[in-house]
Chain A
Amino acid sequence: MKQTVYLSIGIFFGIVMYKSEAASWFRIYEMFQFGSFHMYGIIGSALVLGIIGIQIIKKKNLKAVGNQQMQLTPKNKSIARYAIGGIIFGLGWALAGACPGPMYVLVGSGYLSILVVIFGALLGTFLYGILKNKLPH
């Protein structure tokens, strides 16, 4: 049952990413060229509703299914890891024209080349795991 829920959420996410064109290389390029409000509108409107919703969850102390706590744990305080990691991520986001979610969506859309990007992302994740203790956090 739970499996079906996660699978359905994934399918819904995939359709939204593709239909909103957030999975398109062109939209990412256009965003970084400030050529359209489209991507900013997507992220911005999701964010405004997200902030309002999470405030409501906190004020009313709403619980997740099975009466468990919501996964809203604060992120660890640091500047270096978020700034450096963020910039590295941004370089890749613009170069490949895809962030992790859309990569999977594009596999389903039949772009085989995106598998190279996913392989690179796995490699990058693996490299981080190996180098983690040597990096400033």
Chain B
Amino acid sequence: MNWIYNPWPWYVAGPLIALIMFLLLFAGKQFGMSSNLRTMCAVGGAGKAADFFKFDWKKERWNLLVVVGAVIGGFIASHFMSNNIVKINPNVAEQLSTDYGITSANEAYMPPELFATEQLSNPFVLLVLLVGGLLVGFGARYAGGCTSGHAISGLSNLQLPSLIAVIGFFIGGLVMIHALFPLIF
């Protein structure tokens, strides 16, 4: 039964992600996981504040269904198909522990230091999560897509704008981890 609980290697996951992109293309849609945020804003009445949210969101309901599915998929995978432990490079795990006191690598799926529910009462952790999300939401719309929309869909379609965006994703990520993490944590 180990094959159910063990993590899927990259050469299984990558092709399955390509398959998801093609399934959506053949359904007449585009694979992108951040435009649903715009749809949710529109549903919530953000059209009153900005024209960006004035569109027929009912036509975009499909991407909310994909979101609901992703939540269900996350439930199924974590409850029935995983021991919820992620093994990473031991050197990286050790560095996390010595530099930032994050000792949960190789013992959990997400670091409880940041994602345990009790930590929500810690203003610092709350701020990190909120600002992280804010940058993701703002940046994804500014760049017109996220990892799925640009790194998978856009690059697959050989779009130069997507290449610029993906290079931007990595510059931002590397700056955060190598320059800002030591200042923040």
Contacts and interface: CB of A to CB of B under 8 A. Distances in A.
B31 to A, nearest CB: 9
Nearest to B178: A32
Nearest to B23: A9
Contacts of A78: 161
A92 B26 contact: no
Instruction: Report whether over half of chain B's contact residues are helix, strand or loop; otherwise say mixed.
Output: helix
User: What interface size band does chain A fall in?
Assistant: 35 or more
User: What interface size band does chain B fall in?
Assistant: 35 or more
Interface string B14-30: 11111011111111111
Given A24-B109, A75-B154, A106-B74, A91 B172 contact: yes
Interface of A: 2-3, 5-33, 35-47, 49-51, 53-54, 57, 64-66, 68, 70-72, 74-79, 81-101, 103-114, 116-130, 132, 135
Instruction: Report whether over half of chain A's contact residues are helix, strand or loop; otherwise say mixed.
Output: helix
Given A9-B69, A13-B70, A96-B133, A132 B52 contact: yes
Given A10-B68, A30-B92, A100-B140, A87 B172 contact: yes
A128 B170 contact: no
A135 B73 CA distance: 37
A53 B41 CA distance: 33
B168 A87 contact: yes
Contacts, number: 496
29 contacts: A12-B73, A13-B17, A13-B73, A14-B74, A17-B70, A23-B74, A24-B86, A30-B89, A43-B147, A50-B156, A70-B25, A81-B144, A84-B143, A88-B138, A89-B135, A92-B131, A92-B133, A93-B136, A93-B169, A93-B176, A95-B132, A95-B135, A100-B148, A101-B146, A106-B74, A110-B75, A123-B130, A125-B40, A129-B38
A137 to B, nearest CB: 8
A110 B81 CA distance: 14
Nearest to A8: B69
A128 B60 CA distance: 19
B133 A121 contact: yes
Contacts of A23: 74, 109
Contact of A85 (B23, B44, B141): B141
A101 B7 contact: no
A108 B146 contact: no
